[in-house]
């Protein structure tokens, strides 16, 4: 007779255990979850690669900005260096674009200064001033105060609310103070006139008018200046600040030393970008390409190459190949610094036309800066591509989580079913054992 029911025998229920469930779940996980996990890892690798490519593109963007026609900083072709003599003035320029080469001579015969008055000595700044009236005129404005309700401190505070006045209570000796009234700005146009009625604060005394307003008197390249400020801003953007009387000069010359360095830096960064693109989109003899769908990146790289290879100048007469810049068979940029140096000394404006250009015909740097900048814009190619990768990764993670939950739920149910089956099989086996015992006793 067969041993047990349906061939299970008395120990058949033991086969429905956790080990069997684990084997079944592992096999199904391998079939369903491992492909999703592989896709997640591949997508994460692509994201890392694209981020690395983007970082190099941003570095290239920073470099080409030195050749951008519209940069807020000075582009490489407008750099100047200056040598100065004398200490009567200082020179500065926030934008050197319009600075012409040559020497500027400055002679200062008088500095602009503020109007300054002092009061008589004051022993108690918190004492009431007394009934009277103080009137101050500066430029076209007149301020009149009834002093009956003011202490010296309160009056100084009130006067300081007017932007054309600079007022302070200064301690000038132990226990003694003076009220100092100055015009906020220098020059004759900010001259002060102070009158007092029924009070005597000393402002009308000649010895208390300690500084008289005056204008800057200077001569710059033969032109006389009579200004209220000690700062002269030339139309070229050169800022001349008078410091003392005397003569000074500044000599301005083009600074071309950074141009070759900047172009070489761009070439190095471009070649680094080519390396990354090749590594991640083509792979090599030992590794496969990380980015299989590289159409967007190839579009970006082809556009960059087209910008570099294109013709420039108002008549399309300029290109990089005229100035010692070539590309080898692998697409790497090469610079002949000696040819480039000759072009800087002999064809400066042509080279500037090539790299910077004009509003109506932008140069390499200007076009490349605009294009690279657009890639990270709201709807730029790189931004769109990165968003797609992020969405793909999110979908894959959601799919992995969903399948994991389904498997967990399925095998939790199977575990419960196995437990139920074990109870039934055990009961049946027990019944069979009893029946078998009766049969055996009757033989």
Q: Which residue has the tokens 């069997």?
A: 20
Higher-pLDDT residue of 221 and 7 is 221
Residue by residue, DSSP assigns 36-93 as: HHHHHHHHHHHHHHHHHHHHHHHHHHHHHGGG-TT-SSPPGGG-EEEEEE-SSEEEEE
pLDDT, tens digit, 9 for 90 and up, residues 300-355: 999 999 999 999 999 999 999 999 999 999 899 999 999 999 999 999 999 999 99
Nearest CA to 194 out of 145, 150, 129 is that of 145
Give yes or no for residue 9 having a pLDDT over 50: no
79: tokens are 């750099």
200: tokens are 């005597």
pLDDT at position 17: 66
Q: Which pTM does this prediction carry?
A: 0.65
Domain boundaries, the chain: 1-79+256-443, 80-111+216-254, 116-211
Give bridge partners of residue 423 from the DSSP assignment. Answer: none
Confidence of residue 195 (pLDDT cuts 50, 70, 90): very high
Q: How much of the chain is in helix, strand and coil states, percent to nearest 5?
A: 50, 25, 30
Work out the average pLDDT over 209-227.
97
pLDDT, tens digit, 9 for 90 and up, residues 17-76: 677 778 888 888 888 888 999 999 999 999 999 999 999 999 999 999 999 999 877 788
CB neighbour list of residue 281: distance below 8 Å, 6 or more residues apart: 289, 290, 291, 294, 297, 298
DSSP state letter for 115? -
pLDDT at position 89: 96
Question: Is the Cα torsion angle 353, 358, 364, 369 positive or negative in sign?
Answer: positive
> What percentage of the chain carries pLDDT values higher than 90?
68
pLDDT at position 285: 64
Q: Which residue has the tokens 């004051």?
A: 122
pLDDT, tens digit, 9 for 90 and up, residues 69-95: 998 777 888 888 899 999 999 999 877
398: tokens are 């959601």
392: tokens are 């793909």
Residue 28: exposure state from Cβ atoms within 10 A (0-12, 13-18, ≥19):
middle
The set of long-range contacts for 270-275, using a CB threshold of 8 Å and a minimum separation of 24, is 270/60, 270/304, 270/308, 270/333, 271/332, 271/333, 272/56, 273/53, 273/56, 273/57, 273/60, 273/301, 273/304, 274/301, 274/330, 274/331, 274/332
Q: Residues 432, 4: contact at Cβ < 8 Å?
A: yes
In the chain, the N- to C-terminal Cα span, in Å, equals 14
pLDDT, tens digit, 9 for 90 and up, residues 234-270: 988 899 999 999 999 999 988 888 899 999 999 999 9
Confidence of residue 203 (pLDDT cuts 50, 70, 90): very high
Region of residue 223 (left: phi > 0; alpha: psi -120 to 50; beta: else):
beta
Nearest CA to 217 out of 114, 108, 113, 115 is that of 108
Give bridge partners of residue 169 from the DSSP assignment. Answer: 179
pLDDT at position 16: 55
pLDDT at position 15: 54
Nearest CA to 372 out of 57, 51, 121, 72 is that of 57
- What does pLDDT average to over the chain? 89
Give yes or no for residue 10 having a pLDDT over 50: no
Nearest CA to 181 out of 236, 229, 143, 234 is that of 143
pLDDT, tens digit, 9 for 90 and up, residues 112-127: 999 999 999 999 999 9
Nearest CA to 155 out of 203, 226, 102, 91 is that of 203
310-339 core/surface letters (b: 16 or more CB in 10 A; e: else): eebeeeeebbbeebbbebeeeeebebeeee
Nearest CA to 48 out of 396, 373, 381, 393 is that of 393
DSSP 3-state of 183: strand
Higher-pLDDT residue of 408 and 68 is 68
Give yes or no for residue 13 having a pLDDT over 60: no
Work out the average pLDDT over 359-386.
91
337: tokens are 């610094």
Q: How far is CA 375 from the centre of its chain?
A: 16
224-253 core/surface letters (b: 16 or more CB in 10 A; e: else): eeebbebebeeeeebebebeeeeebbbebe
């Amino acid at each position: 007779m067969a041993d047990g029911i349906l061939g299970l025998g008395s120990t058949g229920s033991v086969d429905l255990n956790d080990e069997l469930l684990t084997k079944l779940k592992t096999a199904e996980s391998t079939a369903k979850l491992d492909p999703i996990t592989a896709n997640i890892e591949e997508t994460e690798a692509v994201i890392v690669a694209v981020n690395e490519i983007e970082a190099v593109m941003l570095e290239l963007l920073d470099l080409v900005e030195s050749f951008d026609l519209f940069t807020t900083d000075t582009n490489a072709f407008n750099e100047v260096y200056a040598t100065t003599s004398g200490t009567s003035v200082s020179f500065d320029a926030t934008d050197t674009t319009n600075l012409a080469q040559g020497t500027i001579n400055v002679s200062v015969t008088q500095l602009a200064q503020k109007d300054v008055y002092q009061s008589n000595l004051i022993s108690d700044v918190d004492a009431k001033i007394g009934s009277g009236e103080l009137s101050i005129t500066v430029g076209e404005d007149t301020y009149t105060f009834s002093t009956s309700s003011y202490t010296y401190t309160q009056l100084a505070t009130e006067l300081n609310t007017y932007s054309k006045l600079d007022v302070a209570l200064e301690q000038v000796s132990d226990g003694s103070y003076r009220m100092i009234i100055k015009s906020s700005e220098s020059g004759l146009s900010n001259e002060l006139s102070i009158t007092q009625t029924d009070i005597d604060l000393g402002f009308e005394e000649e010895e208390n008018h300690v500084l008289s307003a005056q204008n800057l008197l200077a001569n710059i390249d033969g032109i006389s200046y009579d200004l209220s400020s000690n700062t002269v801003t030339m139309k070229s953007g050169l800022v001349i600040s008078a410091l003392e009387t005397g003569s000074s000069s500044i000599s301005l010359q083009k600074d071309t030393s950074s141009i070759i360095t900047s172009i070489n830096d761009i070439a190095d960064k471009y070649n680094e970008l080519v390396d990354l693109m090749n590594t991640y989109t083509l792979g090599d003899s030992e590794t496969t390409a990380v980015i299989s769908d590289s159409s967007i990146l190839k579009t970006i790289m082809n556009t960059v190459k087209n910008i570099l290879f294109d013709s420039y100048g108002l008549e399309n007469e300029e290109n990089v190949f005229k100035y010692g810049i070539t590309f080898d068979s692998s697409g790497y940029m090469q610079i002949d610094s000696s040819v480039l140096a000759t072009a800087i000394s002999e064809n400066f404006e042509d080279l500037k036309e090539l790299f910077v250009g004009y509003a109506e015909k932008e140069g390499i740097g200007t076009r490349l800066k605009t294009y690279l900048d657009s890639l990270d814009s709201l709807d730029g190619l790189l931004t769109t591509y990165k968003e797609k990768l992020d969405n793909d990764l999110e979908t894959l993670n959601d799919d992995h989580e969903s399948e994991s939950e389904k498997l967990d739920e399925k095998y939790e149910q199977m575990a419960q079913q196995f437990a139920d089956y074990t109870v039934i099989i055990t009961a049946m086996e027990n019944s069979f054992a009893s029946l078998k015992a009766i049969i055996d006793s009757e033989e």
